[in-house]
Amino acid sequence: MDTAILDQARTWLAQDPDDETREELAALIERADSGDEDAIDDLFDRFDGRLQFGTAGLRGELGAGSNRMNRVLVAQAAAGFAAFLRARDPEGTPTVVVGYDGRRNSDVFARDSAELFAGAGLRAILLPRRLPTPVLAFAVRHLGADAGVMVTASHNPPNDNGYKVYLGGRDAGSQIVAPSDGEIAASIRRIADERSVLDLPRSIEYEIADEAVVEAYVTATAAVAPAPEGAAGTRWVYTAMHGVGWETFARVLDAAGYPAPTVVPEQIDPDGRFPTVSFPNPEEPGAMDLAFATARASDAEFVIAQDPDADRLAVAIPLRGEGGEGGWRRLTGNEVGLLLGLRAARAAAGMPGASLACSLVSSPGLGAIARKHDLDFHETLTGFKWISRAPGMVFGFEEALGYLVNPETVRDKDGISASIAFLALATEARGRGLTIADLLDELTAEIGFYASGQVSVRVEDVSTIATMMAALRADPPSSFGDTAVALADDLLQDPAGLGGDVLRYRLEDGSRIIFRPSGTEPKLKVYLDVRGESREDSAARLVALEQAVRERLDRLS
């Protein structure tokens, strides 16, 4: 047994205020002391490093140890963030708003953070109950706060939790980017190295936000797209995926005048165990099966799903020719993004400096929409911390089901406001005798036949992803299948002023392939985009490209 790891574990145990993780760690140390190899391996996994604080904040599995999410790690993060904010404004009293969702320990981590912020001399405001991430992002701007913290792991597996950070002031309520992320991480590390969390000052003199903050979010979000005439009678299904979206979303629906949906009863209430899904992400196979069953039983026209913290939106429609009696399909994030982007482009006509924005892995079709409507277009690195900063943006999206439709009030993806905007599209189309599938046809008629796909490789050891990316750099592909690579970009070399661990290949037939490690999961993601002469041609091109990419990945692994 490595005595350094064992010493770290004992030091951690001595400062852990949580009975559950103390008991868990004490038992593990005892087993490791007796020579239990499994316990020794487990301790190494927990203490050989720590969860890294980056531009996505913290996110990881719950449990004891520096490489897990727990009260010690959160206390260090809160104290380090407080020190960063005090250094940023040494003469003032920074204000921090704290929110939390329905995951295990989210409320505990949020209260710990509020107490530590207050103890550090900050004005700490805790949201009144578990609420969606977009409400926290809204509150940072609405209250003029210097910063915000949301305790959530969004759509991660059930045993994960996380810590997402926003900055006000010149950052306007967006998530953190460099150099702030590195400065915060260094501040957290100093706290972890120099002080026991038991010695950190705490105070219960934090504020509980007034309900008026939630009311203001409801009012602003309902104003995104009030229900058009003829919305009554629309039949649709909604699932909260065991998350916190429904209470707030229901209030927005009522304020905007939309008919209530048929809800998926098994998934409507917050439940951090996520009992009906193995992975609470609408993108994952099987996650929307209960919603599809509910839609068939209620003869619904479409399904809307939000992820557990309601910052993402998924939409599903019946397969053509089956009237909902048979199959359903979830629209891709690109399809929803392009429909919402077209809506935004039409609304922004003639607006000086208005732009559309998306991440570099999202459909190039948004650029085509911007050009057609004489708007600026910005392609950014992945994440709304970048999209939200695009100059003049009136709409932004990324293919992973994230949409920003109201940048004046929320500078992050927002599944609730996006749902309202999409409901406006669907009900307006219904008034014209059209379906969502017909809207996709109209989109294609306007910009052409774009098709997108994705191949993901999930790994046990995240270092495998770095190895695969290094192999691609060492032996750059000259072709994928029978199609030659026309241009290869390594964004680590920053040729386009973007930066990031991204490899982008443009093929001679106009197709595009992008390799990128996931920022929130142990995955290597590969994004595929094609444009064909017809729907059938683009679908065939996408199938051929996916096969070529899978063959390349097989060789890498």
DSSP conformational letter for 396:
E
Nearest to 439 by CA among 290, 317, 260, 292: 317
What residue has token string 């909604």?
238
Q: Which two tokens stand for residue 358?
A: 């998306």
Question: For residue 165, with 0-12 CB atoms within 10 Å meaning exposed, 13-18 middle and 19 or more buried, which class applies?
Answer: buried
Cα 438 to Cα 433: distance, rounded to the nearest angstrom: 9
For 351-401, the DSSP string reads: -TT-EEEEETTS-THHHHHHHHTT-EEEEE-SSHHHHTTSTTEEEEEETTT
Catalytic hit among 66, 106, 154, 355: 154
Contact predicate 356/396, CB 8 Å:
yes
What residue has token string 């003869």?
299
Q: Which residues pair with 163 in a beta bridge?
A: 58, 151
DSSP conformational letter for 204:
S
List Cβ neighbours of 295 (8 Å cut-off, separation of 6 or more): 237, 262, 302, 303, 316, 318, 324, 328
- For 316, phi then psi, to 5°, come to -130, 150
Q: Can you tell me whether residue 8 is helix, strand or coil?
A: helix
Contact predicate 225/422, CB 8 Å:
no
Contact predicate 53/87, CB 8 Å:
no
Cα 345 to Cα 398: distance, rounded to the nearest angstrom: 16
452 tagged catalytic: no
Half-sphere exposure at residue 148, Cβ-oriented, CA atoms within 13 angstroms? 30
Strands 523-532 and 512-517: antiparallel
Can the peptide bond before residue 179 be classed as cis, meaning omega within 30 degrees of 0?
A: yes
Nearest-5° angle of CA 135, CA 138, CA 144? 135
Q: What order of strands is seen across the sheet that includes strand 503-507?
A: 449-458, 523-532, 512-517, 503-507, 483-490, 479-480
Active centre residues (catalytic): 154
